Structures are given as structure tokens and as C-alpha cells.
Chains A and B, each alone.
Chain A
Amino acid sequence: MDSMGGNFQFKYSVMWESIPVLMTGVKLTILITFFGLIFGFLLGSAAGLGKTSRNIFINKLSGIYVESVRGTPLMVQVMFLYFGLPLALGMRVPPLAAGVTAIAVNAGAYIAEIVRGAIQSIDKGQVEAGRSIGLTHFQALVYIIWPQAFKRMIPPLGNQFIISLKDTSLLVVIGVGELTRQGQEIIAVNFRAFEVWLTVAIIYLAMTMFISKMLNVVEKKLEIAS
């Protein structure tokens, strides 16, 4: 009981001292989030468009992808990608690659729903007007639907970016040295859980606030541009 904080003393210096090591984790967290979201956005856009497709095969395939990812925990997906899949493929997957893939696949499914919703929210008359001036279906999508839909995607996409950034902390289970992992390792040495987890939390908060701000700026810019 004594050691559980009966005479707990907050040590401010621990926070400062842990920062250099935590920053190496931050780099990895940003890297995984960045590439995970780029691939996730591509995957999500494809699946989102797929869900609006009249081609039954593409439509169903996209639906199955979205449902299976949304219906299973991220933790299980990560474990499956890192421990399960390599057995079936007969090759080792580096933790970082598995981590980026997990974030991409997971974010992609949620982004797909965002893309689908935004595209379906655009008035049908827009496509008709595009087709009536002779645009092909693809041209109407590229020049008319996507630019309008993209603007509507920004707020929910921002939300998903923040979620995905936080989700990278789950990669601790496959030994990726991201921010959470670095925090754990520092605590394993100095036992200062309070200060270190507080620092870790503040760093996550700073990153997610940065994303929020960035998206506000982008949103404002797009508003001015029309």
C-alpha cells in the first residue's frame, strides 16, 4: 500500500527527462499515422466509390471489406496481420510494415463510409447536368462529384485522422517502438508511471490538436475558394 502512493511525490523533472526518448516514439507514431492514412485514404476512396458502383461484384467486395473491418476489433486485426498472416504466407512481416498496414486497412474501412456518404449526398442533378453536356460517367465523377464531395468529407475525415493517430498506440502489442511503447519502456526502468503516462498523454493531445487545427485551416481555405 505504501508504495502505491501513500507518500507519492510528483517529480516534474521525470517528465522533462523522458521527453528525448518519447520523441523517438513520436517520430514513429507520426510516420505510421502518415503512411497509414495515405494508404487508408486510397483504400477508403476505392472502397467508398466501390460501394456506390452499379457493378455488383465491386459493390459486394467493397461491402465485405468495410463490414469485416468495422465488425472486428483493431487489436485482433493487428494480431492477425502480424502473427497470423505470416504463418499462412510463410514469411515474416516486419512490425512496422504490419503496423502501417493495420492502420491503413482499418482507417480505409471507415474512410470508405465517409466517401460513400459524401458522394451520395451530392444532388443527382449534378451528374445529370454533367452527362447532359456530354461528360462521360468518369469525367462527371472527377470534375463534378468528387470536388464537391471532398469538401463534405473533410470534417469526418479529420475525425478519422485523429482516431487513427490514437489507434497507433495499439501497435504496442507487436513491439513497434511508437510513443506508447517508449513510455512503457521508460516506466519499466524508473517506475514513474504517473509522470510518464501524463507526458505521453500530453504529447498525444498536442498531436491531435495539431490535426484539428490543420483541418480547420484547410476547411477555411476551401470555403474561400468557392
Chain B
Amino acid sequence: MIRIEDLHKNFGPLEVLKGIDLHIRPGEVVVIIGPSGSGKSTLLRCINLLEDISSGTVIVDGLDLKDKDTDINFIRTEVGMVFQQFNLFPHMTAMKNVTLGPIKVRKMSKKKAQNLGLELLRKVGLEDKAHVYPDQLSGGQKQRVAIARSLALTPKAMLFDEPTSALDPELVGEVLEVMKALVVDGMTMVVVSHEMGFAREVAQRVIFMDEGLIVEENTPENIFLNPQNERTKNFLGKVL
């Protein structure tokens, strides 16, 4: 589904990713953990080409992101992205946030898009908020609308960039529930998160990144209970 080979990313003289190799199979749920500044978010943003790639290869659904013929907008609809700060469009209702992509990108009729929108808002438990503007929603509700907005393009994979980090603790659960429902649906997911409980429960693989490299990867049981690398041990010792 997603194949990354020797990915490097520089911001000026600063090398943020120093050669990442990662292969994500269809339907797999991968959680990326690691200290801040380790390159987790940048890795995710490279997959969606929100950051351009300095060198290396990223292949999404068989399409090489560096290939000039690859339609980047198409890739972006194939891979949904959920942001830490939600990034809902504040001038649009929840419904309009969700239907903008289907209408403008997929050229769906307004009526069909609204049916889809309602279905997706129901899925995230917010059908009664369809006509509410983002500033009247709680953080957790915002993030659930943002997830629905991404799902509206029926992506083949979803990227979550610290989706619960900006939430009040009591609102984290509702977002994780929605994400778990996606796992049940068989969605391919790459999640940058500090929610170790979530990682333990749903991830097939946990990746520990530090200083722009994948330091260790393993099943959640193995990585949490029996970390091999000193840096992994150190990090887990601090967060668990």
C-alpha cells in the first residue's frame, strides 16, 4: 500500500529524516511513537506530499510520488490526513466541511454528497451537528468531523498526525473510538500518537523513531514489554 525507501528530508541544512525504509501493507495499522523532533510528523507529511521529498522513494498505491506523471491531487484523495489541530474550515458547517471534497474534487452531485455526508457524520456520531459551525463544537467533535471529512473521499489509507494531542483528556476517548471503528472496517492506518493504550490495543506494528531514523519496530507487545534498543527503553521509561 505504502512503500518508503531510503527517504531523506531536509529543511535547509537540517536533516529531519535520515533514510527511512517502511512498508505498510493494505489493512495494516501502524503506530509511530518517538520523542518530539524525531521526524514522525514529517514522515507522515511526506506520504501526503505536504512536504516535498528531498531524496528517496515513496510509492503510494503503486504510484511513485516523485514521478512527474503522478497526479498529486489524486494521491491526496487516496490517502486521508487528520491533523493535530483539526484544521476544519471555520466558515463552513460540519456538513459543508465533509462535502467540499466530494463536490469539488470528485464532482459528486450536491444531493449525493449530502447523503454521503450525513452517513459519515452518523458514523462519527455527529449527525445532529451537521449544520453547526466548527467553533460551536468541542475539540473531540471537531476531530471527528475532520475524520469524516477525510473519509468522504473514500481513501485507501488514513494518516493521523497526533490526532488526540490537542484534546482535553476527557475528549480523547471519543476520537479513539472512531479510529477503532475504522480499524474494524479494515482501513490502512498510519498513526503518529502518544496514546500507548491505543497502540497496544489496535496496532499490528509499533515503530519507534528517534533523530530521523526508525530505531526499532515490532509488535506492540514486544516493543512495550521487551524493547531491545536503549533509546526505545529510555523513551518508554519516560512515557509509560
Residue in A closest to B149 when the chains form the complex, CB atoms: A133
A128 and B89 CA atoms in complex are apart in Å by: 11
Nearest Cβ in chain A — how far from B78, in angstroms? 9
Report B67-117 residues with CB < 8 Å from chain A CB. 73-74, 76-77, 80-81, 83, 85, 87-91, 100-101, 104-105
Q: Is the CB of B88 within 8 A of A129?
A: yes
B91 with A139: CB separation less than 8 A: no
Contact A147 B91 (CB under 8 A): yes
Residues B83 and A135 in contact, CB atoms below 8 Å apart: no
Task: Enumerate chain B residues within 8 angstroms of A128, measured Cβ to Cβ.
Answer: 50, 81, 83, 87
B48 and A135: CB pair below 8 A? no
A53 at the interface (CB under 8 A from B): no
Q: What is the bound-complex CA distance between A128 and B149, given in angstroms?
A: 13
- Cα A134 to Cα B74 in complex, Å, equals 6
Which of A123-180 touch B at CB < 8 Å? Answer: 123, 125-126, 128-136, 139, 143-144, 147-148, 151
Residues in chain B near residue A129, CB distance under 8 A = 81, 83, 87-89, 146, 149
Give per-residue flags for B34-60: 1 if the beta carbon is below 8 A from chain A beta carbons, else 0: 000000000000001010000000000
A139 to B104, Cβ gap below 8 A? Answer: yes
B152 within 8 A of A: yes
Chain A positions within 8 Å of B104 at CB level: 135, 139, 143
A13 at the interface (CB under 8 A from B): no
- Closest chain B residue to A131 by CB distance? B76
CB distance A134 to B90 under 8 Å? no
B150 at the interface (CB under 8 A from A): yes
A135 to B104, CA, bound (A): 7
Dominant secondary structure at the A interface:
helix
Judge whether A135 and B90 touch: CB under 8 Å: no
Alpha-carbon gap, A131 to B79, bound state (A): 11
Q: Report chain B residues within 8 Å CB of A136.
A: 73
Which residues of the partner chain B approach A151 to less than 8 Å between Cβ atoms? 91
B73 and A126 contacting across the interface, CB-CB below 8 Å: no
Cβ-based interface call for A226 (8 A):
yes
Q: Report how far A146 CA is from B104 CA in the complex, Å.
A: 16
**Alpha-carbon distance between A125 and B85 when the two chains are bound, in angstroms:** 8
Given A125-B85, A128-B50, A226:B90 Cβ within 8 A: yes
Partner of A143, one of B74, B100, B133: B100
Nearest CB in chain A: distance from B153 CB, A: 6
Query: Are B87 and A125 in contact, CB atoms less than 8 angstroms apart?
Result: yes
B77 to chain A: closest CB distance in Å? 4
**B96 → chain A, closest Cβ, in Å?**
10
- Pairs across A and B, CB under 8 Å, 7 listed: A129-B81, A129-B83, A129-B88, A129-B146, A135-B101, A148-B89, A148-B91
Interface centre among A125, A130, A134 (most CB of B within 10 A): A134
Q: B63 CB to closest chain A CB, in angstroms?
A: 14
Q: Smallest distance from the beta carbon of A111 to chain B beta carbons, Å?
A: 21
1/0 contact string of A73-88 vs chain B (CB within 8 Å): 0000000000000000
Instruction: Evaluate contact between A123 and B76: CB separation under 8 angstroms.
Output: no
Residues of B within 8 A of A144 (CB): 89
The CA-CA distance from A159 to B97 in the complex, in Å, is 33
- Please tell me if the beta carbons of B87 and A133 are within 8 angstroms of each other in the complex: no
Known A128-B50, A128-B83: A134·B89 in contact at CB below 8 Å: no
The answer to whether A226 and B101 touch across the interface, beta carbons within 8 angstroms, is: no
Select one of B80, B90, B149, B150 contacting A148, CB under 8 A: B90
B82 to chain A, nearest CB (A): 9
On whether the beta carbons of A132 and B76 are closer than 8 Å, the reply is yes
- Closest CB pairs A-B (n = 8): A129-B87, A133-B101, A134-B77, A132-B81, A125-B87, A134-B105, A134-B73, A134-B76
